Structure 1
């Protein structure tokens, strides 16, 4: 068990260290491709830049897909202010208060990187008496750049332009008790699980009953990740994405979460029953949950018109789209369920 956990944690630590806001994912896709290629696995890249790694099974007429996304929340430069600060435009569905005070990196078209901090435009409590009451929104949040700049012209001389990507620092940390806290556990925790599954299948020569595709998508946070390029033979499609923890939820940081329904509607009942049955048979710690404000790559694929049985499972993640945290228990239980599933019968 500990060997598997160590591998997944190592993958996760590397993945969160690579900036990859939706729309600027070439670096992380190249990292994943190099890692997968080292194991000699069949692989292709879609026109949108996603990666599909394929393990051929005994039955090549019916296929399965597991998908996890490696794109993250982030921002773009919306406006260069006359005082040398930047206004931002969100990438993905977070709230401004969740990134207030965060360190960030501005990535220019020329490949330069500049550091900064996301703050209110008048952030000193010794100067701005009304700071606690001011709205955290596009108009009041700015980036303070760590360069000697005082006007728009200074910023432009650095090569920073409207439309440049801005990534948030992950601040990865793992405790001795097994808790992992970092930005972008959604969904790099799941991607780490899939990467380790590929390693284990190839190193142990595990023969799968059906051809199985591992789809690493790169546009999920903006709604259209793995909703194209799906092989016509696909019968089952499982999105491996975070289990959302909060008041009224059953998911925890120590289980694998099986989603029954999200904002797109119910997931396939037959597939859900199979996943629950496998979890109980293998004595895997799991919870069934409903995510009220959530959509996955699986629901996006169904909306795109694919005739598939769709499901959603993943590690429990606390404080989604904010200061996220999970536990190695959840990675382990997710890995166990998915390994049991890809070796089980479709019938």
Structure 2
């Protein structure tokens, strides 16, 4: 099938441009709703703020739900240091060295924004020498240096910054001529763009689906409870998240990745077979893999007690939870599998 790559990139660029660390996703959800309004897509908003789009199919009793999550890694102000820097506490699981030297934005509860840089407490080898090199990259040894003329806790408090304010990492998004996408938060904004494009494709092409299909845009996946509530008639739940290429892994940045097992255990075998067969029948480049340190919204739904068959697929994202990379081939392969799954009996 032919897909509009520019529209996919348009969605992804817009989604990546809106900061949404877990717990602070209202702005990006507003954007998602605006796009859905333009598509005349039917959706509801859950009490926790997730968005659920529903496209009716022939069978309304046996429903399918696909999920992707807008919430990302980030941090929160833990305290204000006497020197006028900010102590931080992580949101989500990442290596602290992956954010060292990163530019960031602090968004206060009153809606003010301030910029800064995340550094260690010993950022200069000219001053600290080997102590700077050997300092453990832990939250306790990191701080945000504000782009403000402040030198005390009182100076910072006068700006309106307080404990609990969100710290959003700059994404440094790059789309290269060779098809690579380099940015933070491809986990899972790439898949949100994929589902948004899928909804657009199904509606604009008047595709009749065999089963009513829901698209669950989750906002608390990074902290484990994004999909604890799902549409009640769901029988099959496919989390569209990411594959994780790396050392000794089978995943690829150029394929759709199908997860057989992660830290929550194996995914449903029948559903995995179906997705594998669809990939073969439609000449979709795919890889099957297992991930030892991974969970998904499908995992959350099962833990919440839902009696569903689950699967996990997504584009291959290199250096996950750091400065990530994928390729348009992987994004397109994932769209192809998602659409073929939606249309399949």
Matched, 1:246 2:250: no
Counterpart CA distance in 2 for 1:328 and 1:9 is 9
Counterpart CA distance in 2 for 1:224 and 1:116 is 30
Match of 2:139, SS state, is coil
What TM-score comes out, normalization by structure 1 length? Answer: 0.98
Match of 1:104?
Answer: 104
Counterpart CA distance in 2 for 1:122 and 1:270 is 53
Match runs of 1:72-87 below 5 Å: 72-87=72-87
Match of 2:279?
Answer: 279
Moved more, 133-142 or 286-295: 133-142
Match runs of 1:44-63 below 5 Å: 44-63=44-63
CA-CA distance at 1:190 after TM superposition: 0.4
Match of 1:209?
Answer: 210
Match of 2:257, SS state, is strand
Residue deviations 1:263-309, cap 9 Å, x none? Answer: 00000000000000000000100000001100000011001000000
Match runs of 1:174-193 below 5 Å: 174-193=175-194
CA-CA distance at 1:138 after TM superposition: 1.6
Match of 1:255?
Answer: 255
Match runs of 1:1-347 below 5 Å: 3-129=3-129, 130-228=131-229, 230-345=230-345
Counterpart CA distance in 1 for 2:175 and 2:34 is 26
Contact 1:209–1:343 under 8 Å retained in 2:
yes
User: Relative to structure 1, is the Cα distance of residues 38 and 243 closer, same or farther in structure 2, using a 3 angstrom cutoff?
Assistant: same
Residue deviations 1:196-247, cap 9 Å, x none? Answer: 011111111111111000000000001111121x122111000000101111
Counterpart CA distance in 1 for 2:87 and 2:285 is 44
Counterpart CA distance in 2 for 1:191 and 1:231 is 18
Counterpart CA distance in 2 for 1:318 and 1:215 is 25
Match of 1:63, SS state, is strand
CA-CA distance at 1:2 after TM superposition: 6.6
Match of 2:84, SS state, is coil
Unaligned runs of 5+ in 1: none
Match of 2:109, SS state, is coil
Contact 1:174–1:181 under 8 Å retained in 2:
yes
Residue deviations 1:164-200, cap 9 Å, x none? Answer: 0000000100110000000000000000000001111
What TM-score comes out, normalization by structure 2 length? Answer: 0.99
Residue deviations 1:74-130, cap 9 Å, x none? Answer: 000001000000110000000100000000000001100000000011211111111
Aligned-residue Cα RMSD (Å) equals 0.8
Q: How many pairs were matched up?
A: 344
Unaligned runs of 5+ in 2: none
Counterpart CA distance in 1 for 2:160 and 2:193 is 35
CA-CA distance at 1:3 after TM superposition: 4.4
